[in-house]
Amino acid sequence: MKEPLNGDEGMWLPNALPLERLKKLYGFTPSKKWAEHIQKASVRMNNGGSASFVSPNGLLVTNHHVAESILHDLSSAKKDYVNDGFYAKKDKNEVKAKELEINILWTIKDVTERIKAITRKYKNAKQASGAKRSEIARIEKESYEKTGLRSNVVTLYRGGLYHLYCYKKYTDVRLVFAPESAIAALGGDFDNYEFPRYCLDVSFFRVYENDKPLKTPYFFKWSDKPSKENEILFISGHPGNTERLSTLSRLKSLRDFQFPYLLDWMRRREILLQQFSGKSLENQRKAKHELHSIQNARKRFLGQLKALQDQKFIAQKELSEEDLRAKIRKSKPLRKNFGNAWDILEKAEEKLKSIRDELYLFENAFAFNCELFDIARTIVRLTAEDKKPNHKRLSEFRDSNRESLLHSLFSPAPIYKDLEVALFEDSLAFMTEIVGTEDSMVKQILSKKSPSETASQIISETKLNKVSARKRLVNSGMKGVMKSKDPMILLARLADKRSRAVRKVFETSIKEVREQAYSKIAEALFALYGSATYPDATFTLRFAYGRPKGYVDAGKKINFKTTIGETFNHANLHKNIEPWKLPESWLKNKNKLAKSKVIFNFVSTNEAHGGNSGSPIFDKDLNIVGLLFDGNAYDFANHFMYTDEKARSVSVHSQGILEVLKKVYKTERLIKELIQ
Amino acid sequence: MKEPLNGDEGMWLPNALPLERLKKLYGFTPSKKWAEHIQKASVRMNNGGSASFVSPNGLLVTNHHVAESILHDLSSAKKDYVNDGFYAKKDKNEVKAKELEINILWTIKDVTERIKAITRKYKNAKQASGAKRSEIARIEKESYEKTGLRSNVVTLYRGGLYHLYCYKKYTDVRLVFAPESAIAALGGDFDNYEFPRYCLDVSFFRVYENDKPLKTPYFFKWSDKPSKENEILFISGHPGNTERLSTLSRLKSLRDFQFPYLLDWMRRREILLQQFSGKSLENQRKAKHELHSIQNARKRFLGQLKALQDQKFIAQKELSEEDLRAKIRKSKPLRKNFGNAWDILEKAEEKLKSIRDELYLFENAFAFNCELFDIARTIVRLTAEDKKPNHKRLSEFRDSNRESLLHSLFSPAPIYKDLEVALFEDSLAFMTEIVGTEDSMVKQILSKKSPSETASQIISETKLNKVSARKRLVNSGMKGVMKSKDPMILLARLADKRSRAVRKVFETSIKEVREQAYSKIAEALFALYGSATYPDATFTLRFAYGRPKGYVDAGKKINFKTTIGETFNHANLHKNIEPWKLPESWLKNKNKLAKSKVIFNFVSTNEAHGGNSGSPIFDKDLNIVGLLFDGNAYDFANHFMYTDEKARSVSVHSQGILEVLKKVYKTERLIKELIQ
């Protein structure tokens, strides 16, 4: 970031677009109105993705893989929305999602000075952290009471800036259309993060307000035209997390200490879920979404680790960090104010190493990794935190988040006890392996039984799979929870002290220390290069620009696009065996599609990261030309440093979607709404 | 073992059958001739399994999963013996295995006194270890020179006894029949270690001597009758490894330190192989055998770990160990001679912990895990060891093993460079993760490149995939190898010093210390209970007795057998989707089989462990009634302690095999030979 930006780099804040750069590179200057339209047509899916409006009647488009958890929650042994897909022929057939909240960023306010004024009062990181937390809670509460909007203070530039984001929030979201998972994710885990690709990674929802479709002037127009190589395109969405500003010590810690550990955990869960799935087709259905998530994460983390294991990559980072530090050393005021940030951050990484196991096991709940434990802990903590003043609470239990929290806690999404047992049992075994059988908590939990027996017993006896039981407990308050004999509540209570202890160490000795040190680095960067930079991703709204563009891979030219027709060749190459088996609906219409030159998937240089999935990709005139759904294999390194030699984002094209809606799915009502 | 034996417990030495116990339990007293017949009709497959003769013309029967590596080595992109199966209609169609040696145990001699006389001279474990190694090499060499037989001194009771085993050795073994892998391993990894089962886990070979079928009077007669519950049956085969004598400190070390580590490694390899396989059907074929091996090991290790994580199980072991130690404490001479064995073993486990990473990375070559590295290291070591006197060499390079070693080193089995790159790259990354990028060897090997680039370069440049290149290097001797510029040879040379260093520590500070301490425990047991015990498994010939017997699982009675007809129901239950998709040959003949009540698979209480796969299971009259191929899920705990409440061995029945040879495969020549 401290060098000049590289090509189409950047995840720009909606209120700080790179106007000069856009003008220089593309001769385009967006207006304020243009930016506001995009901001309000863009939607955050709180299950972890992005979306956008594509009609004035609340029609929302996102990826199939973002919708998958929603489809999974709607499914049962009798009806499998994931596998079979869905189309609501009439308005009244639209099916309400069981657990989904969407957010639209409505207003932004800079509150940096208000917060920094507080933290400047304290020398000690622990005190500063507490004071800051309180101030943030106050700001959020004031805002919520004033506007009624979901209000969150967002930490940008790792503590360089603080913005108050107010969101419109909707929880009545209904499914309109989803294709079969076989074509939504053709090639499955094997084609994931690859290109060329052939995925109909799309689904449509409708947002309702007061039981009526939401009326909105902010939407993208659906494009039925192909895209051309090198034309400027934009993405607006919610990249989840990047490490652009991260120091070398942080990257080395990720490489040597965090990623290998997390990958071992993920591979463990992946094999476990495969084993569970193998027992029957119904088991396969139950575990499918969880398995997809873990496979996706495993592939991403491994890709990022490989990038860091490349000595050339590290040498490049070393050089650029040394360059910045040398500049700071040369200037006395810079040196005095910012010079020690790297040492502080290195120490924070060391600290993290010393608490890693405890943090992941207890606060991140690897020791009890299943839905019913999450529910139990949320109830235990919610009722305990409620006893405290708002600004003293753990952040997720502040008043400003309460509605969203309860919406999720009381979700009627199905919980499968057999799957829960498998996950929970393995988690208990993992805990035992890490802390040993002599650990007093292990002894208390297992009390002379095996992890397997313990898990079976707790899961079979807990009533938390019933929403009514959860409501009853929340309503009974802390006293009621203390009296509960539900074994999962008892476990959550037992574990909570240990979990809170390590969380506190993390928040005061690592998180706050990091924020303060990174905010110094950010200030140094501002001092040296001005404000023409962008912050690391934070699962908040960002804009990225770029262009459709092919690349050369191992000497072979890769075209920027694939076509609907080529999809059949791709499946054939793999003998049409799962996960390359096309759905019946496509095979039936093969004669209409096999020669189609309509663009299906394409790559572009726009920046995008996990959380961006489902983001609209659109032209200057606000025509949506597709949905971002992936990166190629070279994109992993972009987590740390942007390059556009081979790294690309992958999108499914609007024209291709329209073509198959017409020829395969014959979704007339939906087509009409898109191209009205 | 120190308690009275439990039920049908025991893996008995061929020259020390439990005569009294057999008489007491089954009223049967085997004759010496009976025992000799079995010994000489039993065969060790040096790729890691068991087999037996079933005709006077060298016809050998074993499991399909034991044959799989042989079938894999015979296969190519054009012909897939694993997937498609094989039948030699005529003698001349029998296909020679590319890399297989079989051994038949011909004579046994007790050499305990000769070895112990040597080790008694030394107080110091390191010196004792060296002297013992030399003496063993001398015994083996004398024997080999005298008899021409493969001669190995076998350590029994972990150092309580030493026996000299002389084997007849054959390397011309030809494939006669193998079924399709789809039915050989119906249900794949998911059904593995489960019961009820429906697997045609069988294949037939013929042993040749001087290009003619081997004539032998020692063979089992094929039984075409069903087996009855509770009738006595025997198994003779080569169980690989058990931990019956192991101390509590050893079991805890396995539980807390070895198994979790190995499982992480296995899951890592499993996912890697899945990813490689997913790229194309040809990749799938190339990696299939390796993937099966790792899945099988992962399931077994996880099962064993789960057994150890059961607090009740550990408590039981604790009790029985304490009982023995109390008895020893009570007797002054016992106390003096044997009392400290447990403390010594506990220290040895501690020592193992301190060298675990180095041992697995370098001596077990997890850092370079691929075939071409193994070949390079064997060449580097062979030529170096050849410079030493025989008794000073690493054990695998002694003269007595030379023929077998070269047979394997010069095998023309195919090596797939793309698969090698995938395995090697991940190994280099693993090494980097464990020892860090600052490690001097890592720096030397990667020299500013990524593990991926390094692996691609070394694998693409090495010539060791060609047998001629290997022969040239071996013939050039140590000098030639030192001059070689082959990058894999250079790597093997670079790594060898470090690898030998840790091996030496392991052999002197752990292996020898263990042997001495365990031999004390064994002596104490002899002193307390006499010699009516059996040693832990050592991949040498053992006899086990038992009976077909059902069991109760989760309240449900499990019949001891399955039938050919039920196989179709089982596949249907899983919608005939892979790995439950029956082969064409079975589907074509469904009408002849679907109602068949002929016994297919069955369980019995006979002891069996990895390495026993392919063992004949036979009656008192030496009729073979099946082949052992697996254990059920409760059998994992038997690795540590025998019980027969629910633990069972699983076999495929001779009657079922015969039935499908007749009705599906129509292998007339083979059928005639079996039931002549």
Which neighbouring-strand residues pair with A557? A552
The mean pLDDT of A490-510, rounded to a whole number, is 96
Q: Is B271 within 8 Å of A271 when comparing Cβ atoms?
A: yes
The answer to whether A556 touches A259, Cβ cutoff 8 Å, is no
Report residue A125's pLDDT band, with 50, 70 and 90 as the boundaries.
confident
Question: A316: distance to nearest CA of chain B, Å?
Answer: 12
Residues B38 and B163 in one domain: no
Claim to verify: residue B147 and residue B48 sit in the same structural domain: no
Residues of B whose CB is below 8 A from A275: 189-190
What pLDDT is attached to residue B531?
66
Cα atoms in the Cβ-side hemisphere of radius 13 Å centred on B411: 25
Q: Which among B191, B267, B299, B353 is the top mutation candidate for probing chain A, defined by the most A β-carbons within 10 Å of its own β-carbon? A: B267
Say yes or no to pLDDT of B2 above 50. Answer: no
Burial string for A414-433 (b: 16+ CB within 10 Å, else e) reads: ebbeebbbbbbbbbbbbbbb
Average pLDDT on A120-145 reads 90
The answer on pLDDT for A463 being more than 70 is yes
Total domains in the fold of chain A: 1
Residue of chain B nearest A190, judged by CA positions: B278
Looking at CA atoms only, how far is residue A621 from chain B in angstroms? 40
Q: For residue A574, list chain B residues with Cβ-Cβ distance below 8 A.
A: 280-281
CA distance B517 to B345: 7
Q: Is residue B63 part of a domain?
A: yes
Asked whether residue B399 carries a pLDDT value surpassing 50, the answer given is yes
Question: For chain B, what percent of residues have pLDDT higher than 90?
Answer: 89
Residues A593-652: tens digit of each pLDDT? 999 999 999 999 999 999 999 999 999 999 999 999 999 999 999 999 999 999 999 999
Which of B258, B271, B285, B318 to mutate against chain A (most A CBs within 10 Å)? B271
Query: How far separated are the first and last CA of chain A, in Å rounded?
Result: 43
Tell me: do B584 and B665 sit in the same domain: yes
Give tens-digit pLDDT for B404-416. 999 999 999 999 9
Interface of A with B (CB under 8 A): 188-190, 255-256, 260, 263-264, 267-268, 270-271, 275, 278-281, 298, 305-306, 309-315, 429, 432-433, 436-437, 446, 448-453, 573-575, 577
Mean pLDDT over the full length of chain B = 95
Partners of residue A448 in chain B, C-beta under 8 Å = 311-312, 315
| Residues B111, B162: Cα–Cα separation, whole Å | 6
Q: Which of A188, A271, A450 sits opposite B306 (nearest CB)?
A: A450
- Are A309 and B432 an interchain contact pair (Cβ–Cβ within 8 Å)? yes
The string of pLDDT tens digits covering residues B426-435 is 999 999 999 9
Q: Which of B122, B154, B169 is the last residue of a domain?
A: B169
A604 belongs to a structural domain: yes
* H-helix or E-strand spanning residue B164: strand B161-170
Any domain includes A24: yes
- Kindly tell me if the per-residue pLDDT of A444 is higher than 70: yes
Q: Which two tokens stand for residue B164?
A: 């000299």
Q: Which residue of A has its CA nearest to B191?
A: A279
The answer to whether residue B401 scores a pLDDT higher than 50 is yes
Decide if A450 and B310 are in contact by the 8 Å CB cutoff. yes
Residues B139 and B164 both lie in one domain: yes
B614 vs B508, residue with greater confidence:
B614
* Confidence band of A2 (pLDDT split at 50, 70, 90): very low
Task: Choose from B264, B300, B452, B453 for mutation: most chain A CBs within 10 A.
Answer: B264
Instruction: State which residue of chain A sits closest to B257, comparing Cα positions.
Output: A433
- Is B450 close to A574, i.e. CB distance below 8 A? no
Structural domain of residue B66, as residue ranges? 31-86+175-235+540-630+652-674
Using a CB-CB distance cutoff of 8 angstroms, which residues of chain A are in contact with residue B433?
A: 256, 260
At A520-577, the pLDDT tens digits run: 898 888 788 776 789 999 999 999 999 999 999 989 999 999 999 999 999 999 989 8
Q: Cβ–Cβ of B437/A256 closer than 8 Å?
A: yes
In a domain, A667, yes or no: yes
Nearest CA in chain A to B571: A280
| Residue B550 shares a structural domain with residue B619 | yes
Q: And the tokens for B78?
A: 């054009």
Query: In terms of domains, do B47 and B82 share one?
Result: yes
The two three-digit tokens of residue B364, written as one number: 């077990």
Please compute the mean of the pLDDT values over residues B266-275 and round it to a whole number.
98
How large is the average pLDDT for residues B531-545?
A: 91
| pLDDT tens, position by position, A62-114 | 999 999 999 999 999 999 999 999 999 999 999 999 989 999 999 999 999 99
Q: Which string of DSSP letters, residue by residue, matches A478-524?
A: HHHHHH---HHHHHHHHHHHHHHHHHHHIIIIIIHHHHHHHHHHHHH
Judge whether A349 lies within some domain.
no
Shared domain for B145 and B228, answered yes or no, is no
Residue B190 lies in a domain: yes
Average pLDDT over residues A204-232: 97
pLDDT computed for residue A338 by the predictor: 82
Residue A214's identity, in one-letter code, is L
Is residue B667 domain-resident?
yes
The whole-angstrom distance between B540's CA and the closest CA on chain A is 33
DSSP SS3 for B149:
coil
**Dihedral of the CA atoms B229, B230, B233, B237 (nearest 10)?**
80
Taking residues A296-324, what's their average pLDDT? 94
CB neighbourhood size of B403 (10 A): 14
Chain A residue nearest residue B279, CA to CA: A190
Chain A nearest-CA distance from B260, in A, is 7
CA distance A148 to chain B (A): 48
Q: How far apart are CA B585 and CA A249, in angstroms?
A: 61
Convert the pLDDT of each residue in A13-65 to its tens digit. Answer: 999 999 999 999 999 999 999 999 999 999 999 999 999 999 999 999 999 99
pTM: 0.94
B interface toward A at CB cutoff 8 Å?
188-190, 255-256, 260, 263-264, 267-268, 270-271, 275, 278-281, 298, 305-306, 309-315, 429, 432-433, 436-437, 446, 448-453, 573-575, 577
pLDDT at B4: 61
Task: Tally DSSP H helices, then E strands, for chain A.
Answer: 27, 21
- The verdict on residue B443 lying in a domain is no
B159 in the same domain as B211: no
pLDDT higher than threshold 90 for residue B97: yes
Which of A433, A452, A575 lies closest to B256 in CB terms? Answer: A433
Contacts of B570 (CB under 8 A, 6+ apart): B186, B187, B196, B198, B562, B580
Instruction: Give the one of A256, A432, A446 whose C-beta lies nearest to B436's C-beta.
Output: A256
Burial annotation B575-591 (CB, 10 A radius, 16+ → b, else e)? eeeebbbbbebbeeeee
Beta strand segments in A157-276, E: 161-170, 172-178, 203-209, 212-213, 221-222, 233-237
Q: List % helix, strand, coil for chain A (3-state, nearest 5).
A: 55, 15, 30
Contact A186, A590 (CB under 8 A): no
When scoring B361, B433, B574 by the number of chain A Cβ atoms within 10 A, the one with the most, hence best to mutate, is: B433
Residue B123 amino acid letter? K
Interface test with B, best of A450, A453, A572, A578 (most B CBs within 10 A): A450
Res B384 pLDDT > 80: yes
Residue at B37: amino acid letter: H
- ipTM of this model? 0.93
For the stretch B116-150, pLDDT in tens is 999 889 888 788 888 999 999 999 999 999 999 99
CA of A433 to nearest chain B CA: how many angstroms apart? 6
- Please report the pLDDT score of residue B129 as a whole number: 85
Average pLDDT score over residue span B421-430 = 98
Please tell me the distance in Å from A1's CA to the nearest CA on chain B: 24
Q: What is the mean pLDDT of residues A237-246?
A: 94
CB < 8 Å to A280, chain B: 573-574
Enumerate the residues of chain A whose CB falls inside 8 A of the CB of residue B190.
275, 278-279
The pLDDT assigned to A54 comes to 98
Q: Are the Cβ atoms of B448 and A315 closer than 8 angstroms?
A: yes
Taking contacts as CB-CB distances below 8 angstroms, the residues of chain B near A577 are 281
Chain A residues with CB-CB distance to B305 below 8 A? 429
Inspect the interface and report whether the beta carbons of A432 and B305 lie closer than 8 Å: no
Query: What confidence tier does A4 reach under pLDDT thresholds 50, 70, 90?
Result: low
CATH number, domain at A28?
Answer: 2.40.10.120
**Closest Cα of chain B to A266: distance in Å?**
10
